[in-house]
Structure 1
Amino acid sequence: MSGAIVYLVTGANRGIGFGLVAALAARPNTIVFAGARDPSAQALGDLAAKHTNLHPIKLTSADKADNDAAVAQIEKVAGRLDVIIANAAICDYYGPVVDAPVSVYQDHFEVNSLGPLVLFQAAERLLLASPTGAPIFAVISSSVTSMGNYVHFSLSPYAMSKAAVNILVKGLNAEHSKLVAFLVDPGWVATQMGDRGAKANGLPGAPVQIADSVKGILGRIDGATKEKSAGKFWNAVVANNGNPWDRPTEEILW
């Protein structure tokens, strides 16, 4: 067990997060901690029954006590932590800026911006002690934050909170010489969140399948290094189908 690569994925009870833990648990020589507000969820339990290297743990975004306890459990079980994929997020409002209550913005910043901050603060000591010498802190962000290639989707609370977490990752990368901190845009994925956003914008559903997004995300994480990967905003699904939301480049414009 001591030589296995140890992963923590947040927001792991469904969607992209569940897809990530399923893919990672199926790999040889991994230990995967699936962070979720309800780690007893049926889907996670069924998956853990198939993979003894998968450990569902309670982890509520931005809850310091939860995050501290989760990291303590990881240290007790695995003795190390090598890769964090901060995936947990909410997108609960679609509509004009003028109609969105301030409380909606506060809720999005709590989960999407402060969640990864609290997580990193809880995990810093253990993560930076990774025997790989290049611990990874990958945050799932969104291309809706792009100022250089802006596309309007009427979800400013989500977009603003994700833009804030982008700055967090840039700062963490600058402050830690060995930490490989970067962002990944997963694509517009056919999850509960993604399909809801698609329908709110007049589309039948999100265009990217979970399996394709997971493959692209892990392609950015596998083999990531400080020199080539850190401090950047990577695209998981390169597409150029003529749609305004397509991202045809390897990196997302800030």
Structure 2
Amino acid sequence: MSSESTIWFINGASRGIGFAVVEKLLATNPSVFVYAGARDPIKASALQQAALKYPGKIAIVKYIAGDVDGNKDIAKVIQEKHSRVDVVLGTAGCGSYLGPAADTPPEVVRTHFETNVIGNLVVFQAMLPLLKASKNPKFIPLSSIGGSLTAFTISMPLGMTAYAMSKAALNVLARRIHFENEWIVCFPLSPGAVETDMAASHREMDNSGVLETLEEQSPEKCATLLVKIVDECTREKDGGEFIDIDGSKISW
């Protein structure tokens, strides 16, 4: 293994999948440094404890989805300390509403797009010079099978109109980044059903009963699978594809 650290930036890192990935990396990878993005770093107690447990391996930075200047500030911090970033993992996401197209308020769609689409666009643009400085750059936003136009979820009565619209748009963004930048590994990754606060709120809002039947995996198990995919992914094998947490390809 190379003695050179692998530099990660993970947004949405204070809880759920994001924090599970941070914890997994710090506990198992001796040559890693993680920039963990959180809306309020001071209140991100789990990250603060991780920083005490793994000194010199993590920096907690303030991240707000879609904040252009804030994302540029994060990039400056990374530039000053490491001059590059090897992996950008976008776990920050919004899933605050369930309802069919007929009932979905436009402002709800705007909110979902701000976090799930524009947030990833802004962080990609801010991290672009740092990614170019990496020998093996990877930009991987978390999507959802709900964003597929052809997979089985499209016909389910889940009312995920706003969420699915934003994830489909995110898939387009990731695919465009792949085709426009031949030097990077980029693809949307679906983590599947995971025991998170968002999943719990979706179950509460779901009137169809479908979500109650889904078997959810723990964030820790998801993180193990996710880190393996990121470690082993290549542009030739995965670039521009829609990848499931088991490594298979999802139809667009």
The two structures have a TM-score, normalised by structure 2, of 0.91
Q: Distance in 1 between matches of 2:26 and 2:65?
A: 22
The alignment covers a number of residue pairs equal to 241
Q: Secondary structure at the match of 2:89?
A: strand
Aligned to 2:184: 179
Alignment root-mean-square deviation, CA: 1.7
- Which among 84, 106, 110 is matched to residue 106 of structure 1? 110
Aligned to 1:119: 123
Aligned to 1:63: 67
Report if the CA contact (8 A) 1:194-1:205 is conserved: no
Q: Distance in 1 between matches of 2:168 and 2:214?
A: 24
* Cα distance, 1:96 vs structure 2: 2.3
Report if the CA contact (8 A) 1:199-1:205 is conserved: no
Q: Distance in 1 between matches of 2:194 and 2:31?
A: 28
Pair 1:236-2:245 in alignment: yes
* Cα distance, 1:128 vs structure 2: 1.1
Q: Distance in 2 between matches of 1:216 and 1:73?
A: 29
- Which among 92, 97, 111 is matched to residue 93 of structure 1? 97
Q: 1:139 to 1:14 in 2, by over 3 A?
A: same
Q: Secondary structure at the match of 1:97?
A: coil
Aligned to 1:253: 251
Structure 1: runs of 5 or more not aligned? 239-249
* Cα distance, 1:150 vs structure 2: 3.2
Report if the CA contact (8 A) 2:90-2:140 is conserved: yes
Q: Distance in 2 between matches of 1:13 and 1:183?
A: 21
Aligned to 2:161: 156
Q: Distance in 1 between matches of 2:54 and 2:214?
A: 31
Pair 1:200-2:210 in alignment: no
State the percentage of identical aligned residues. 34
Aligned to 1:79: 83
* Cα distance, 1:237 vs structure 2: 4.0
Q: 1:2 to 1:126 in 2, by over 3 A?
A: farther
The letter of the residue matching 1:135 is P
Structure 2: runs of 5 or more not aligned? none
Q: Distance in 2 between matches of 1:128 and 1:98?
A: 43
* Cα distance, 1:60 vs structure 2: 0.6
* Cα distance, 1:189 vs structure 2: 0.7
* Cα distance, 1:200 vs structure 2: 2.9
Aligned to 2:138: 136
Aligned to 1:50: 53
* Cα distance, 1:223 vs structure 2: 2.4
The letter of the residue matching 1:171 is R
Report if the CA contact (8 A) 1:190-1:209 is conserved: yes
Q: Distance in 2 between matches of 1:226 and 1:78?
A: 24
Pair 1:145-2:147 in alignment: yes
Aligned to 1:190: 195
Whose helix fraction is larger, Structure 1's or Structure 2's?
Answer: 2
* Cα distance, 1:204 vs structure 2: 7.8
Aligned to 1:38: 40
The letter of the residue matching 1:210 is P
* Cα distance, 1:79 vs structure 2: 2.3
The letter of the residue matching 2:4 is G
Q: Which has the higher contact order (CA 8 A, sep 6+)?
A: 2
Report if the CA contact (8 A) 1:198-1:205 is conserved: no
